[in-house]
Chains A and B, each alone.
Chain A
Protein backbone atom coordinates (compact mmCIF):
# COMPACT_ATOMS: atom_id res chain seq x y z
CA UNK A 1 0.00 0.00 0.00
CA UNK A 2 1.29 3.46 -0.85
CA UNK A 3 2.06 6.09 1.78
CA UNK A 4 -0.43 8.96 1.93
CA UNK A 5 1.66 11.09 4.29
CA UNK A 6 5.37 10.94 4.98
CA UNK A 7 7.49 12.93 7.38
CA UNK A 8 11.26 12.81 7.69
CA UNK A 9 13.72 14.15 10.24
CA UNK A 10 10.97 15.86 12.22
CA UNK A 11 12.15 18.43 14.75
CA UNK A 12 9.92 20.89 16.57
CA UNK A 13 10.90 23.41 19.23
CA UNK A 14 8.87 25.78 21.36
CA UNK A 15 11.36 28.64 21.72
CA UNK A 16 14.60 27.02 22.84
CA UNK A 17 12.88 23.89 24.11
CA UNK A 18 12.83 21.07 21.61
CA UNK A 19 9.71 18.88 21.84
CA UNK A 20 10.23 16.55 18.86
CA UNK A 21 13.77 15.27 18.45
CA UNK A 22 14.10 14.03 14.89
CA UNK A 23 12.41 10.93 13.51
CA UNK A 24 10.80 9.62 10.33
CA UNK A 25 7.22 8.44 10.19
CA UNK A 26 4.86 7.69 7.33
CA UNK A 27 1.24 6.59 7.04
CA UNK A 28 -0.34 4.22 4.57
CA UNK A 29 -3.40 5.03 2.52
CA UNK A 30 -6.73 3.56 3.69
CA UNK A 31 -5.34 2.48 7.03
CA UNK A 32 -5.97 3.60 10.58
CA UNK A 33 -2.73 4.59 12.27
CA UNK A 34 -2.66 5.10 16.03
CA UNK A 35 -0.21 7.36 17.87
CA UNK A 36 0.23 6.35 21.51
CA UNK A 37 2.49 7.41 24.37
CA UNK A 38 2.35 9.07 27.79
CA UNK A 39 1.15 12.66 28.22
CA UNK A 40 3.73 15.13 27.00
CA UNK A 41 5.49 12.64 24.71
CA UNK A 42 4.84 14.78 21.62
CA UNK A 43 2.20 12.73 19.83
CA UNK A 44 -0.41 15.52 19.65
CA UNK A 45 2.27 18.06 18.80
CA UNK A 46 3.33 15.79 15.94
CA UNK A 47 -0.28 15.25 14.80
CA UNK A 48 -0.79 19.02 14.56
CA UNK A 49 2.25 19.28 12.28
CA UNK A 50 0.40 17.16 9.73
CA UNK A 51 -2.10 19.93 8.87
CA UNK A 52 -0.01 22.85 10.08
CA UNK A 53 -2.07 23.59 13.16
CA UNK A 54 1.16 24.46 14.96
CA UNK A 55 1.67 27.40 12.56
CA UNK A 56 -0.68 29.39 14.77
CA UNK A 57 1.57 29.08 17.83
CA UNK A 58 4.09 31.82 18.53
CA UNK A 59 7.80 31.02 18.63
CA UNK A 60 7.52 27.52 17.21
CA UNK A 61 10.22 26.13 14.93
CA UNK A 62 9.47 23.12 12.78
CA UNK A 63 12.07 21.47 10.57
CA UNK A 64 12.06 18.31 8.51
CA UNK A 65 9.91 17.35 5.56
CA UNK A 66 6.17 16.69 5.63
CA UNK A 67 4.51 15.43 2.49
CA UNK A 68 0.93 14.72 1.52
CA UNK A 69 1.37 12.40 -1.44
CA UNK A 70 4.23 14.05 -3.32
CA UNK A 71 3.46 17.57 -2.12
CA UNK A 72 5.56 19.30 0.53
CA UNK A 73 2.87 20.73 2.82
CA UNK A 74 5.23 23.36 4.27
CA UNK A 75 6.18 24.72 0.83
CA UNK A 76 5.69 28.47 0.45
CA UNK A 77 2.97 28.16 -2.20
CA UNK A 78 0.77 25.85 -0.14
CA UNK A 79 -2.62 27.29 0.80
CA UNK A 80 -3.19 26.30 4.42
CA UNK A 81 -7.00 26.35 4.10
CA UNK A 82 -6.84 23.91 1.18
CA UNK A 83 -4.37 21.77 3.14
CA UNK A 84 -6.73 21.61 6.13
CA UNK A 85 -9.56 20.67 3.80
CA UNK A 86 -7.46 17.77 2.49
CA UNK A 87 -6.20 16.88 5.97
CA UNK A 88 -9.16 17.39 8.31
CA UNK A 89 -9.08 17.28 12.08
CA UNK A 90 -11.36 16.17 14.93
CA UNK A 91 -10.45 17.29 18.44
CA UNK A 92 -10.73 15.84 21.93
CA UNK A 93 -13.65 18.01 23.01
CA UNK A 94 -16.53 18.09 20.52
CA UNK A 95 -16.47 21.64 19.15
CA UNK A 96 -19.51 22.22 16.97
CA UNK A 97 -20.15 25.84 16.04
CA UNK A 98 -23.13 27.39 17.86
CA UNK A 99 -25.24 26.96 14.70
CA UNK A 100 -27.69 24.34 13.57
CA UNK A 101 -26.59 20.79 12.73
CA UNK A 102 -27.18 21.55 9.05
CA UNK A 103 -25.10 24.74 9.10
CA UNK A 104 -22.27 23.01 10.93
CA UNK A 105 -21.91 20.39 8.20
CA UNK A 106 -22.60 22.84 5.35
CA UNK A 107 -19.79 24.97 6.74
CA UNK A 108 -17.37 22.18 5.83
CA UNK A 109 -18.79 22.14 2.31
CA UNK A 110 -18.57 25.87 1.88
CA UNK A 111 -14.86 25.62 2.55
CA UNK A 112 -14.59 23.58 -0.64
CA UNK A 113 -16.80 25.71 -2.85
CA UNK A 114 -20.32 26.97 -3.37
CA UNK A 115 -23.11 24.53 -3.92
CA UNK A 116 -26.68 24.74 -5.12
CA UNK A 117 -29.18 24.19 -2.29
CA UNK A 118 -30.20 20.73 -3.53
CA UNK A 119 -26.56 19.63 -3.80
CA UNK A 120 -25.85 21.08 -0.40
CA UNK A 121 -28.77 19.15 1.14
CA UNK A 122 -27.55 15.95 -0.44
CA UNK A 123 -23.96 16.41 0.69
CA UNK A 124 -24.97 17.31 4.25
CA UNK A 125 -27.05 14.14 4.41
CA UNK A 126 -24.25 11.99 2.96
CA UNK A 127 -21.71 13.41 5.40
CA UNK A 128 -23.97 12.85 8.41
CA UNK A 129 -24.64 9.31 7.20
CA UNK A 130 -20.92 8.63 6.78
CA UNK A 131 -20.38 9.87 10.33
CA UNK A 132 -23.12 7.46 11.49
CA UNK A 133 -25.20 10.20 13.13
CA UNK A 134 -27.84 10.83 10.44
CA UNK A 135 -30.56 8.68 12.01
CA UNK A 136 -30.21 10.56 15.29
CA UNK A 137 -30.25 14.10 13.86
CA UNK A 138 -32.24 13.91 10.61
CA UNK A 139 -35.41 15.27 12.26
CA UNK A 140 -33.52 17.98 14.13
CA UNK A 141 -31.28 19.48 11.44
CA UNK A 142 -32.24 23.02 12.33
CA UNK A 143 -31.53 22.60 16.04
CA UNK A 144 -28.39 24.00 17.60
CA UNK A 145 -25.66 21.35 17.32
CA UNK A 146 -24.59 22.05 20.88
CA UNK A 147 -27.87 20.73 22.27
CA UNK A 148 -26.94 17.15 21.31
CA UNK A 149 -25.05 14.66 23.48
CA UNK A 150 -21.24 14.63 23.51
CA UNK A 151 -21.09 11.52 21.34
CA UNK A 152 -23.52 13.00 18.82
CA UNK A 153 -21.67 16.33 18.78
CA UNK A 154 -18.42 14.51 18.08
CA UNK A 155 -19.96 12.67 15.13
CA UNK A 156 -21.44 15.96 13.85
CA UNK A 157 -17.91 17.37 13.97
CA UNK A 158 -16.70 14.32 12.08
CA UNK A 159 -19.44 14.92 9.49
CA UNK A 160 -18.26 18.54 9.17
CA UNK A 161 -14.75 17.28 8.40
CA UNK A 162 -16.08 14.64 5.97
CA UNK A 163 -18.17 17.24 4.12
CA UNK A 164 -14.95 18.91 3.03
CA UNK A 165 -13.96 15.62 1.35
CA UNK A 166 -10.57 15.21 2.98
CA UNK A 167 -7.99 12.57 2.06
CA UNK A 168 -6.67 12.26 5.59
CA UNK A 169 -8.55 12.60 8.88
CA UNK A 170 -6.58 13.46 12.00
CA UNK A 171 -8.22 12.73 15.34
CA UNK A 172 -6.78 13.92 18.65
CA UNK A 173 -8.21 11.71 21.42
CA UNK A 174 -11.68 11.93 19.86
CA UNK A 175 -13.38 9.63 22.39
CA UNK A 176 -11.66 10.51 25.66
CA UNK A 177 -14.64 12.69 26.68
CA UNK A 178 -17.21 10.07 25.63
CA UNK A 179 -18.91 7.11 27.29
CA UNK A 180 -18.13 3.55 26.03
CA UNK A 181 -21.23 3.34 23.80
CA UNK A 182 -20.52 6.65 22.07
CA UNK A 183 -16.86 5.64 21.79
CA UNK A 184 -17.84 2.34 20.18
CA UNK A 185 -19.98 4.22 17.62
CA UNK A 186 -17.05 6.46 16.71
CA UNK A 187 -14.73 3.44 16.46
CA UNK A 188 -17.16 1.59 14.21
CA UNK A 189 -17.52 4.70 12.06
CA UNK A 190 -13.76 5.02 11.68
CA UNK A 191 -13.45 1.36 10.67
CA UNK A 192 -16.05 1.96 7.94
CA UNK A 193 -14.45 5.22 6.83
CA UNK A 194 -11.00 3.77 6.30
CA UNK A 195 -12.14 2.22 3.01
CA UNK A 196 -12.20 5.75 1.57
CA UNK A 197 -10.01 7.81 3.88
CA UNK A 198 -6.69 7.53 5.66
CA UNK A 199 -7.02 8.00 9.39
CA UNK A 200 -4.45 9.02 12.00
CA UNK A 201 -5.63 8.95 15.59
CA UNK A 202 -3.96 10.00 18.83
CA UNK A 203 -5.35 7.95 21.68
CA UNK A 204 -4.63 7.25 25.32
CA UNK A 205 -6.95 4.28 25.15
CA UNK A 206 -4.61 1.42 24.31
CA UNK A 207 -7.48 -1.01 23.80
CA UNK A 208 -8.93 1.40 21.29
CA UNK A 209 -5.63 1.46 19.38
CA UNK A 210 -5.58 -2.34 19.53
CA UNK A 211 -9.19 -2.63 18.35
CA UNK A 212 -9.21 -0.30 15.39
CA UNK A 213 -5.73 0.55 14.13
CA UNK A 214 -3.60 -1.20 11.54
CA UNK A 215 -0.35 0.43 12.58
CA UNK A 216 0.67 1.78 15.97
CA UNK A 217 3.42 4.33 16.61
CA UNK A 218 4.73 4.64 20.17
CA UNK A 219 6.16 8.02 21.19
CA UNK A 220 8.25 8.75 24.26
CA UNK A 221 9.94 12.01 25.27
CA UNK A 222 9.65 13.53 21.81
CA UNK A 223 11.05 10.47 20.08
CA UNK A 224 9.40 7.78 18.01
CA UNK A 225 10.27 4.53 19.79
CA UNK A 226 8.71 2.23 17.22
CA UNK A 227 6.08 2.10 14.49
CA UNK A 228 4.83 -1.46 14.19
CA UNK A 229 1.78 -3.32 12.81
CA UNK A 230 -0.79 -3.21 15.62
CA UNK A 231 -1.26 -6.94 15.99
CA UNK A 232 2.48 -7.26 16.42
CA UNK A 233 3.08 -4.38 18.85
CA UNK A 234 0.51 -5.70 21.33
CA UNK A 235 1.90 -9.25 21.23
CA UNK A 236 5.63 -8.79 20.61
CA UNK A 237 6.78 -5.17 20.52
CA UNK A 238 10.25 -4.52 19.13
CA UNK A 239 11.36 -2.51 22.15
CA UNK A 240 11.23 -3.38 25.85
CA UNK A 241 10.27 0.25 26.60
CA UNK A 242 7.13 -0.26 24.51
CA UNK A 243 6.22 -3.43 26.39
CA UNK A 244 6.73 -1.62 29.71
CA UNK A 245 4.51 1.29 28.65
CA UNK A 246 1.76 -0.96 27.27
CA UNK A 247 1.64 -2.86 30.55
CA UNK A 248 1.49 0.32 32.61
CA UNK A 249 4.97 0.12 34.13
CA UNK A 250 5.29 3.88 33.53
CA UNK A 251 3.37 6.72 31.90
Chain B
Protein backbone atom coordinates (compact mmCIF):
# COMPACT_ATOMS: atom_id res chain seq x y z
CA UNK B 1 0.00 0.00 0.00
CA UNK B 2 2.68 2.43 1.07
CA UNK B 3 4.77 1.78 -2.08
CA UNK B 4 1.75 2.62 -4.24
CA UNK B 5 1.16 5.83 -2.32
CA UNK B 6 4.83 6.87 -2.55
CA UNK B 7 4.86 6.24 -6.28
CA UNK B 8 1.70 8.29 -6.82
CA UNK B 9 2.89 11.13 -4.61
CA UNK B 10 6.14 11.17 -6.55
CA UNK B 11 4.21 11.33 -9.81
CA UNK B 12 2.21 14.25 -8.43
CA UNK B 13 5.39 16.11 -7.50
CA UNK B 14 6.86 15.48 -10.94
CA UNK B 15 3.68 16.72 -12.65
CA UNK B 16 3.83 19.87 -10.54
CA UNK B 17 7.49 20.49 -11.39
CA UNK B 18 6.79 19.95 -15.09
CA UNK B 19 3.92 22.40 -14.89
CA UNK B 20 6.16 24.96 -13.14
CA UNK B 21 8.80 24.68 -15.86
CA UNK B 22 6.18 24.93 -18.61
CA UNK B 23 4.69 28.08 -17.05
CA UNK B 24 8.13 29.61 -16.68
CA UNK B 25 8.68 28.93 -20.37
CA UNK B 26 5.34 30.60 -21.16
CA UNK B 27 6.30 33.86 -19.42
CA UNK B 28 9.64 33.84 -21.17
CA UNK B 29 8.04 33.28 -24.59
CA UNK B 30 5.23 35.80 -23.94
CA UNK B 31 7.48 38.65 -22.87
CA UNK B 32 9.98 37.88 -25.64
CA UNK B 33 7.20 37.95 -28.26
CA UNK B 34 5.96 41.24 -26.80
CA UNK B 35 9.39 42.86 -26.96
CA UNK B 36 10.14 41.43 -30.43
CA UNK B 37 6.71 42.43 -31.76
CA UNK B 38 6.40 38.79 -32.85
CA UNK B 39 2.71 38.25 -33.54
CA UNK B 40 3.17 34.67 -34.79
CA UNK B 41 5.02 33.58 -31.63
CA UNK B 42 2.30 35.24 -29.53
CA UNK B 43 -0.43 33.34 -31.36
CA UNK B 44 1.43 30.05 -30.87
CA UNK B 45 1.55 30.76 -27.15
CA UNK B 46 -2.16 31.53 -26.95
CA UNK B 47 -2.95 28.28 -28.74
CA UNK B 48 -0.65 26.30 -26.46
CA UNK B 49 -2.23 27.53 -23.22
CA UNK B 50 -4.79 24.75 -23.32
CA UNK B 51 -1.92 22.40 -22.40
CA UNK B 52 -1.33 24.28 -19.13
CA UNK B 53 -5.02 24.19 -18.29
CA UNK B 54 -5.18 20.46 -19.01
CA UNK B 55 -2.05 19.91 -16.91
CA UNK B 56 -3.71 21.70 -14.00
CA UNK B 57 -6.90 19.65 -14.28
CA UNK B 58 -4.88 16.40 -14.41
CA UNK B 59 -2.87 17.47 -11.42
CA UNK B 60 -6.01 18.31 -9.44
CA UNK B 61 -7.48 14.94 -10.33
CA UNK B 62 -4.34 13.11 -9.17
CA UNK B 63 -4.27 15.10 -5.90
CA UNK B 64 -7.96 14.57 -5.13
CA UNK B 65 -7.70 10.84 -5.84
CA UNK B 66 -4.75 10.56 -3.49
CA UNK B 67 -6.66 12.36 -0.75
CA UNK B 68 -9.82 10.28 -1.13
CA UNK B 69 -8.27 6.86 -1.72
CA UNK B 70 -5.17 6.99 0.45
CA UNK B 71 -6.43 9.38 3.15
CA UNK B 72 -3.05 10.90 3.89
CA UNK B 73 -2.52 12.95 7.05
CA UNK B 74 0.25 15.05 8.60
CA UNK B 75 3.20 15.77 6.27
CA UNK B 76 1.86 13.77 3.29
CA UNK B 77 -1.44 15.63 3.55
CA UNK B 78 0.33 19.00 3.69
CA UNK B 79 2.43 18.10 0.63
CA UNK B 80 -0.64 17.23 -1.44
CA UNK B 81 -2.66 20.27 -0.34
CA UNK B 82 0.30 22.56 -1.08
CA UNK B 83 0.67 21.14 -4.58
CA UNK B 84 -3.07 21.43 -5.16
CA UNK B 85 -3.16 25.08 -4.10
CA UNK B 86 0.14 26.02 -5.78
CA UNK B 87 -0.98 24.49 -9.07
CA UNK B 88 -3.85 27.03 -9.16
CA UNK B 89 -1.27 29.80 -8.85
CA UNK B 90 0.78 28.30 -11.68
CA UNK B 91 -2.33 28.10 -13.82
CA UNK B 92 -3.09 31.78 -13.17
CA UNK B 93 0.50 32.70 -14.05
CA UNK B 94 -0.01 30.83 -17.33
CA UNK B 95 -3.20 32.85 -17.96
CA UNK B 96 -1.31 36.09 -17.37
CA UNK B 97 1.38 35.00 -19.86
CA UNK B 98 -1.36 34.40 -22.43
CA UNK B 99 -2.80 37.87 -21.78
CA UNK B 100 0.66 39.37 -22.40
CA UNK B 101 0.71 37.47 -25.72
CA UNK B 102 -2.71 38.93 -26.58
CA UNK B 103 -1.34 42.43 -26.02
CA UNK B 104 1.45 41.65 -28.50
CA UNK B 105 -1.20 41.08 -31.15
CA UNK B 106 -3.19 44.18 -30.11
CA UNK B 107 -0.25 46.55 -30.24
CA UNK B 108 1.36 45.22 -33.43
CA UNK B 109 1.70 47.93 -36.12
CA UNK B 110 1.13 50.89 -33.79
CA UNK B 111 3.61 53.53 -32.66
CA UNK B 112 5.75 52.13 -29.85
CA UNK B 113 8.10 53.35 -27.14
CA UNK B 114 11.38 51.34 -27.30
CA UNK B 115 12.78 52.78 -24.03
CA UNK B 116 9.67 51.59 -22.16
CA UNK B 117 9.84 48.18 -23.78
CA UNK B 118 13.44 47.84 -22.59
CA UNK B 119 12.25 48.48 -19.00
CA UNK B 120 9.45 45.94 -19.41
CA UNK B 121 12.04 43.38 -20.55
CA UNK B 122 14.04 44.04 -17.36
CA UNK B 123 10.93 43.65 -15.19
CA UNK B 124 9.96 40.43 -16.96
CA UNK B 125 13.47 39.07 -16.40
CA UNK B 126 13.22 39.76 -12.66
CA UNK B 127 9.80 38.11 -12.41
CA UNK B 128 11.13 35.01 -14.18
CA UNK B 129 14.22 34.86 -11.95
CA UNK B 130 11.92 34.97 -8.94
CA UNK B 131 9.73 32.18 -10.31
CA UNK B 132 12.74 29.96 -11.10
CA UNK B 133 14.17 30.49 -7.62
CA UNK B 134 10.78 29.68 -6.08
CA UNK B 135 10.46 26.46 -8.07
CA UNK B 136 13.94 25.47 -6.84
CA UNK B 137 12.93 26.25 -3.23
CA UNK B 138 9.90 24.03 -3.77
CA UNK B 139 12.01 21.18 -5.12
CA UNK B 140 14.27 21.26 -2.08
CA UNK B 141 11.38 22.03 0.33
CA UNK B 142 13.38 25.00 1.59
CA UNK B 143 10.99 27.31 3.48
CA UNK B 144 13.73 29.84 4.28
CA UNK B 145 14.70 30.16 0.62
CA UNK B 146 11.00 30.52 -0.24
CA UNK B 147 10.52 33.32 2.31
CA UNK B 148 13.67 35.11 1.08
CA UNK B 149 12.63 34.77 -2.53
CA UNK B 150 9.18 36.18 -1.74
CA UNK B 151 10.91 39.37 -0.53
CA UNK B 152 11.85 40.10 -4.16
CA UNK B 153 8.21 40.91 -4.82
CA UNK B 154 8.76 44.31 -3.18
CA UNK B 155 11.29 45.11 -5.86
CA UNK B 156 8.85 44.01 -8.54
CA UNK B 157 6.19 46.28 -7.02
CA UNK B 158 8.65 49.22 -7.02
CA UNK B 159 9.53 48.54 -10.64
CA UNK B 160 5.83 48.44 -11.48
CA UNK B 161 5.28 51.88 -9.95
CA UNK B 162 8.37 53.37 -11.61
CA UNK B 163 7.62 52.01 -15.10
CA UNK B 164 3.99 53.02 -14.77
CA UNK B 165 5.08 56.60 -14.09
CA UNK B 166 7.45 56.45 -17.02
CA UNK B 167 4.71 55.22 -19.37
CA UNK B 168 2.42 58.10 -18.38
CA UNK B 169 5.16 60.65 -19.03
CA UNK B 170 6.27 59.04 -22.31
CA UNK B 171 2.70 58.96 -23.52
CA UNK B 172 2.35 62.70 -22.86
CA UNK B 173 5.50 63.30 -24.95
CA UNK B 174 4.39 60.92 -27.74
CA UNK B 175 0.57 60.96 -27.91
CA UNK B 176 0.65 58.74 -31.01
CA UNK B 177 1.80 55.87 -28.75
CA UNK B 178 -1.36 55.94 -26.63
CA UNK B 179 -2.58 52.52 -27.78
CA UNK B 180 0.84 50.98 -27.08
CA UNK B 181 0.93 52.76 -23.70
CA UNK B 182 -2.36 51.17 -22.69
CA UNK B 183 -0.88 47.77 -23.54
CA UNK B 184 2.32 48.54 -21.62
CA UNK B 185 0.29 49.45 -18.54
CA UNK B 186 -1.61 46.20 -18.81
CA UNK B 187 1.52 44.11 -19.35
CA UNK B 188 3.37 45.54 -16.35
CA UNK B 189 0.23 45.02 -14.28
CA UNK B 190 0.18 41.37 -15.39
CA UNK B 191 3.87 40.97 -14.52
CA UNK B 192 3.19 42.50 -11.11
CA UNK B 193 0.32 40.02 -10.58
CA UNK B 194 2.61 37.14 -11.58
CA UNK B 195 4.95 38.30 -8.80
CA UNK B 196 2.05 38.04 -6.34
CA UNK B 197 1.30 34.48 -7.46
CA UNK B 198 4.96 33.56 -6.96
CA UNK B 199 4.62 34.87 -3.38
CA UNK B 200 1.59 32.58 -2.99
CA UNK B 201 3.82 29.67 -4.05
CA UNK B 202 6.15 30.61 -1.18
CA UNK B 203 3.24 30.51 1.25
CA UNK B 204 2.41 26.95 0.16
CA UNK B 205 6.03 25.85 0.51
CA UNK B 206 6.02 27.22 4.08
CA UNK B 207 2.75 25.36 4.80
CA UNK B 208 4.08 22.14 3.35
CA UNK B 209 7.23 22.29 5.48
CA UNK B 210 5.90 23.71 8.77
CA UNK B 211 2.11 23.42 8.76
CA UNK B 212 1.89 27.19 9.28
CA UNK B 213 -0.48 29.22 7.12
CA UNK B 214 1.33 32.52 6.54
CA UNK B 215 0.69 35.69 4.56
CA UNK B 216 3.92 36.79 2.92
CA UNK B 217 2.48 39.61 0.83
Contact = CB atoms under 8 A, between A and B. Distances in A.
B2 A235 contact: no
A29 interface: no
Interface in B4-43: 5
A236 B211 contact: yes
B165 interface: no
A246 interface: yes
A249 B2 contact: yes
A242 B75 CA distance: 10
Interface of A: 206-207, 210, 233-237, 242-243, 246-249
Given A235-B211, A236-B210, A247 B75 contact: yes
B1 interface: yes
Contacts of B5: 247-248
Contacts of B71: 207
Contacts of B73: 206, 210, 234-235, 243, 246-247
Contacts of B77: 234-235
B74 interface: yes
Interface in B166-211: 210-211
A235 B1 contact: no
Contacts of A249: 2
27 contacts: A206-B73, A207-B71, A210-B73, A233-B74, A234-B73, A235-B73, A235-B74, A235-B77, A235-B211, A236-B74, A236-B78, A236-B210, A243-B73, A243-B74, A243-B75, A243-B76, A246-B73, A246-B74, A247-B2, A247-B5, A247-B72, A247-B74, A247-B75, A247-B76, A248-B1, A248-B2, A248-B5
Nearest to A240: B75
A237 B74 contact: yes
Contacts of A234: 73-74, 77
Nearest to B72: A247
Contacts of A206: 73
A206 B5 CA distance: 17
A208 B85 CA distance: 27
B18 to A, nearest CB: 25
Contacts of B2: 247-249
A242 B74 contact: yes
A246 B77 CA distance: 11
Contacts of A246: 73-74
Interface string B140-180: 00000000000000000000000000000000000000000
B27 to A, nearest CB: 33
A59 to B, nearest CB: 38
A237 B73 CA distance: 10
B68 to A, nearest CB: 12
A233 B75 CA distance: 10
B142 to A, nearest CB: 18
Nearest to B76: A247
Interface string B41-76: 000000000000000000000000000000111111
Interface in B79-115: none
A239 B117 CA distance: 53
B162 to A, nearest CB: 41
A247 B211 CA distance: 16
A103 B56 CA distance: 62
Contacts of B1: 248
Contacts of B78: 235-236
Nearest to A235: B211
Contacts of A243: 73-76
Residue among B2, B74, B211 with max Cβ neighbours from chain A (10 Å): B74
A235 B211 CA distance: 7
